[in-house]
């Protein structure tokens, strides 16, 4: 019985693993090198493993190949590699009610509340979440490895969730030939939508002129240049007719635009990214009032002030919590107006 060799680790450009392996196989064949096999593990992009019982032959194999670099250190045994292959990936433990931050993917940067248990097979795990502080009641599924826990359910204070988005309620209906309509909801950067993800894959297979749809979305969102904007596209697959509806950017994005900052403070209460006038707070509150669970303009103003606090933005040079107290005491009634 032929004795197994050991596995030498070779660094290659990610995504080019198979083309490098084909090249190395030819070199091994023509050079008469003692190479038994080559292995690529899908979960270890950028690396291949070369089986041989002689390190010299592996050095000859990779020498002079710009895309293949033999890594120093001791070889890996098959048993060690098997441990990597069969080990169940560690899954972050989340449960309904946890507050998380999405750190990868189309919804990167958004906070959300977990609304399901973890699901999925031996491969990638997913969890359903409800986005917070964004127009419309959006529930999405995200990979578990794309989220980070901010607060556990038992620690989480009551959180204002997705604001209402009137006029965008979707009712399942039938098209001209009885085919149900579809509503595609995506976040795009105002005025900069393109046929790539997330828009392209979401509309794929519906037979629409993607270029035309992108142009219409950019025209409708141009006023929110550079800001993330929720867009809903209702499509009738039977007729290929569609309707585009645009919501307002999140309150946080509107506040950042007012202060000229790209992102909020990472140390809320200790560092600040800018200051906003009370008139601007009222302006944003009036814009968002139809979409909020707020009973009055004054209540909407207090919600905007709460968002300013979480973003590290002062109001009239003061901590937003102080301004909220002043709103309750009537100090800003004249600015808010009679409608408050």
Question: pLDDT value at position 153?
Answer: 65
Q: Domain count of the chain? A: 4
Whether residue 169 is contained in a domain is answered as no
- pLDDT digits over 191-244, tens only? 888 887 767 777 767 778 888 999 999 998 888 887 888 888 888 888 889 999
Mean pLDDT of 317-322: 91
The model's pTM is 0.45
DSSP per residue, 121-178: -SS--EEEEEEBSSBS--EEEEEGGGEEEEE-TTTPPP--BPBP-TT------B-TTS
What confidence tier does 3 reach under pLDDT thresholds 50, 70, 90? low
Question: pLDDT value at position 225?
Answer: 83
Whether residue 257 is contained in a domain is answered as yes
Which range of residues forms the domain containing residue 325?
Answer: 251-336
Query: Do residue 283 and residue 229 come from a single domain?
Result: no
Q: In the chain, pLDDT over 70 holds for what percent of residues?
A: 79
Query: CB neighbours (10 Å) of residue 5?
Result: 20
- pLDDT digits over 258-291, tens only? 888 888 877 766 778 899 999 999 999 888 887 7
pLDDT top residue among 304 and 177: 304
- Domain with residue 104: its CATH number is 2.30.30.30
- Domain with residue 318: its CATH number is 1.10.10.250
pLDDT higher than threshold 80 for residue 105? no
Query: Do residue 193 and residue 226 come from a single domain?
Result: yes
Question: pLDDT value at position 156?
Answer: 43
Last residue of a domain, one of 39, 54, 86: 86
Last residue of a domain, one of 164, 197, 220: 164
CA-wise closest residue to 251 among 123, 152, 134 = 134
């Amino acid at each position: 019985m032929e004795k197994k060799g050991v596995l030498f680790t070779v660094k290659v450009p990610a995504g080019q693993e198979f083309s490098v392996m084909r090249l190395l196989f030819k070199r091994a064949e023509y050079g008469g090198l003692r190479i038994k096999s080559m292995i690529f593990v899908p979960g270890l992009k950028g690396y291949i493993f070369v089986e041989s019982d002689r390190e010299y032959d592996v050095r000859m194999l990779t020498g002079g190949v710009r895309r293949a670099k033999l890594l120093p250190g001791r070889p890996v045994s098959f048993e060690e590699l098997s441990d990597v292959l069969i080990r169940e990936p560690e899954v972050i433990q989340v449960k309904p009610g946890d507050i998380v931050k999405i750190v990868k993917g189309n919804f990167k940067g958004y906070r959300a509340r977990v609304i399901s248990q973890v699901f999925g097979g031996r491969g990638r795990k997913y969890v359903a979440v409800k986005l917070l502080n964004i127009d419309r009641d959006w529930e999405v599924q995200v990979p578990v490895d794309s989220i980070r826990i901010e607060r556990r359910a038992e620690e989480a204070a009551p959180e204002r969730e997705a604001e209402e988005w009137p006029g965008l309620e979707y009712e399942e209906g039938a098209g001209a030939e009885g085919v149900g309509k579809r509503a595609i909801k995506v976040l795009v950067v105002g005025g900069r939508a393109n046929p790539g993800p997330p828009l392209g894959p979401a509309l794929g297979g519906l037979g629409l002129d993607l270029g035309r749809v992108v142009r219409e979305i950019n025209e409708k969102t141009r006023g929110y240049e550079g800001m993330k904007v929720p867009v809903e596209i209702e499509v009738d697959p039977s007729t290929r007719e569609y309707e585009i509806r645009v919501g307002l950017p999140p309150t946080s994005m509107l506040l950042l635009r007012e202060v000229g900052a790209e992102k909020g403070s990472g140390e809320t209460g200790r560092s600040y990214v800018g200051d906003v006038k009370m008139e601007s707070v009222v302006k944003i509150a009036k814009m968002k009032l139809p979409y909020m669970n707020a009973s009055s303009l004054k209540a909407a103003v207090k919600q905007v002030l709460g968002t300013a606090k979480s973003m590290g933005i002062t109001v009239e040079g003061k901590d937003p919590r102080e301004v909220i107290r002043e709103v309750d005491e009537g100090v800003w009634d004249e600015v808010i107006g009679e409608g408050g």
